[in-house]
């Protein structure tokens, strides 16, 4: 099990920390949203707009199934909603060591408030939407993760160092 998989709410630091970890460890970096967008030749917001969330969630599950066969020696950053499906939880855990990056609502809001590329934040009041989605997803994240690491008040180097220490401790990675 040589993959590290970063899960968590949007803005928790999955992509930023993931790229650093991959570089430091000499691993490939995979962002599942980027891979889906490239395969579909469409942005994630456009996929949501044109086909809806259930279609996008099906694309995520299909990608995870394929990654079981073709993804090794990688740090993988997944979309915030991917672990909500039970099948995806199982597939993620089979793919590698799953690390849940957490952050308080205020931290998340500070990181995503000006990012218009997040379709799950469209609609109601941003703060209410973030709070509701975080609450809805929390149990799925915890059920999926081997490790849980808080990112509040830490820079990416500190988070990466904690991940390196903890994964060595539990998995020998």
Rg of the chain (C-alpha set) = 15
Neighbours of 132 (CB within 10 A): 12
- What average pLDDT does range 138-161 have in this prediction? 96
**SS3 state of residue 115:** coil
Least confident range of 32-41, 97-106, 111-120, 161-170? 111-120
Query: In what order do the strands lie in the sheet containing 74-77?
Result: 28-31, 74-77, 4-7, 97-102, 147-150
Q: What is the pLDDT of residues 122-143, one digit of tens each?
A: 556 778 888 999 999 999 999 9
Cα 97–Cα 157–Cα 30 angle in degrees, nearest 5: 45
Q: Which residues contact 57 (CB under 8 A, 6 or more apart)?
A: 81, 82, 84, 85
pLDDT at 173: 46
Domains of the chain: 4-167 (3.40.50.300)
Q: What is the pLDDT of residues 104-119, one digit of tens each?
A: 998 888 877 755 554 4
Q: What is the pLDDT of residues 35-80, one digit of tens each?
A: 999 999 999 999 999 999 999 999 999 999 999 999 999 999 999 9
pTM for the full predicted model: 0.90
- What average pLDDT does range 133-161 have in this prediction? 95
């Amino acid at each position: 099990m040589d993959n590290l998989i970063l899960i968590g709410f949007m803005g928790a630091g999955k992509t930023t920390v993931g790229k650093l970890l991959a570089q430091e460890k000499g691993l490939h970096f995979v962002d599942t949203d980027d891979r889906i967008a490239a395969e579909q030749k469409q942005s994630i917001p456009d996929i949501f707009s044109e086909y809806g969330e259930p279609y996008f969630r099906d694309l995520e599950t299909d990608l995870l199934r394929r990654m079981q066969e073709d993804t090794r020696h990688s740090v993988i950053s997944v979309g915030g909603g991917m672990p909500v499906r039970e099948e995806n939880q199982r597939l993620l855990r089979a793919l590698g060591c799953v690390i849940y990056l957490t952050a308080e609502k205020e931290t998340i809001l500070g990181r995503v408030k000006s990012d218009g590329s997040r379709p799950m934040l469209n609609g109601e009041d941003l703060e209410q939407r973030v709070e509701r989605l975080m609450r809805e997803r929390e149990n799925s994240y915890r059920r999926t993760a081997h490790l849980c690491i808080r990112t509040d008040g830490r820079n990416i180097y500190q988070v990466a160092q904690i991940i390196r220490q903890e994964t060595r401790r539990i998995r020998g990675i």
